[in-house]
Structure 1
Amino acid sequence: MKDLESGLKEQVVELCNKALEAQEEERFHASNRDLLNVYELLPEPKEEWKAYIWLISNIGDNYFEQDEFELALEKFDEVFNRDSSSIDNAYLCLRRGQCALELTKQELAQTMLSKALELEGKELFEDEHSKYLKFLKQAAE
């Protein structure tokens, strides 16, 4: 993965911070607008830049928060297909699993949610709907 040159990196960081601020304020459409602006700034091929995986993950997270589960899962699938280390990121596993469950893709949901639980434990699920842990419990029975 390549790093951006300093001038472009400053622009990207500024827009990313603006997007994160919008996320924190639960203005997910605004956050994605800023993230898509960052996407446009990345030189081709976009997938080769360090910022790419973070960017796609955050776009997916915003879609998840808006109950746009198909769009979110597309983004998380892309992250997992492009970055093999994603399987070791509990939060990414959690979100991908949640999207899969919402879309009734039980096998993927069980795999991802189980991995998230294995990596971080129940604490990761504390602020999430109880249905995700209930699903894992039922799947284990």
Structure 2
Amino acid sequence: MSNLASQTATRIKSLCAQGYEHYDTQDYKGALRVFYQAWLEVPKPQTDWIEAGWVLTAIGDTYFRLNQFHQAREALNSALHCPQAEGNPFIHLRLGQSLLEQGDIGNARRELHRAYNVGGTAIFEREPEKYLAAIRDVVTQ
């Protein structure tokens, strides 16, 4: 739908910034605690708000870093139901990676290909080669 009122959006942004401070020091459990605090600030129904997509993406990315791929997949799938999230190459990348790690090759390839279609090879530059290799037969480099 739209952005939240500025005061609520500011609280969510502040909490996400705090969460990423933990994330950047590889304190992923600490990051999750703060990201979930941000999630609690999003009014229901959460998927009506752009900010929910930010928070769910942060949660999914953090679960991915913790090798908790099922939780990552759930959060990232939910993020795609939020405004302006569909087509975000990072969400599709992390979702594809999580699916690949769970052995769901077909869906993983679909998501990784979506990430590639929007983000090109650049979205894969800091990622292990296996993720781009999973779609190498359907992309031109």
TM-score range, shorter chain: 0.7 to 0.9
Q: For 2:79 and 2:33, how far apart are their aligned partners in 1? A: 19
Q: Which moved more, 1:17-26 or 1:4-13?
A: 4-13
Q: For 2:124 and 2:15, how far apart are their aligned partners in 1? A: 29
Q: For 2:43 and 2:86, how far apart are their aligned partners in 1? A: 26
User: What is the CA RMSD across the aligned residues, in angstroms?
Assistant: 2.0
Q: For 1:21 and 1:85, how far apart are their aligned partners in 2? A: 25
Q: Which moved more, 1:23-32 or 1:99-108?
A: 23-32
> What TM-score, normalized by structure 2, do the two folds share?
0.86
Bigger Rg over Cα: 1
1:89 deviates by 1.3
Size of the aligned set, in residue pairs, is: 139
Q: Which moved more, 1:114-123 or 1:55-64?
A: 114-123
> What TM-score, normalized by structure 1, do the two folds share?
0.86
In the alignment, is the contact (CA less than 8 A) between 2:100 and 2:108 conserved in 1? yes
Alignment of 1:42-121 (within 5 A): 42-80=42-80, 82-83=81-82, 85-121=84-120
Q: Which has the higher helix share?
A: 1
Percent of pairs with identical residues: 26
Amino acid at match of 2:108: A
Q: Which moved more, 1:42-51 or 1:15-24?
A: 42-51
Change (3 A) 1:123 1:15: same
Aligned match of 2:35? 35
Please state if 1:134 is matched with 2:130. no
Change (3 A) 1:130 1:12: same
| Unaligned stretches of 5+ residues in structure 2 | none
In the alignment, is the contact (CA less than 8 A) between 1:73 and 1:99 conserved in 2? yes
Deviations 1:21-64 (A, max 9, x none): 11222211111101111111222222222211111111000000
| Unaligned stretches of 5+ residues in structure 1 | none
Change (3 A) 1:11 1:108: same
In the alignment, is the contact (CA less than 8 A) between 2:2 and 2:48 conserved in 1? yes
Deviations 1:104-138 (A, max 9, x none): 11111111111212222222111111111222236
Q: What SS does the aligned partner of 1:86 have? A: coil
Q: What SS does the aligned partner of 1:88 have? A: coil
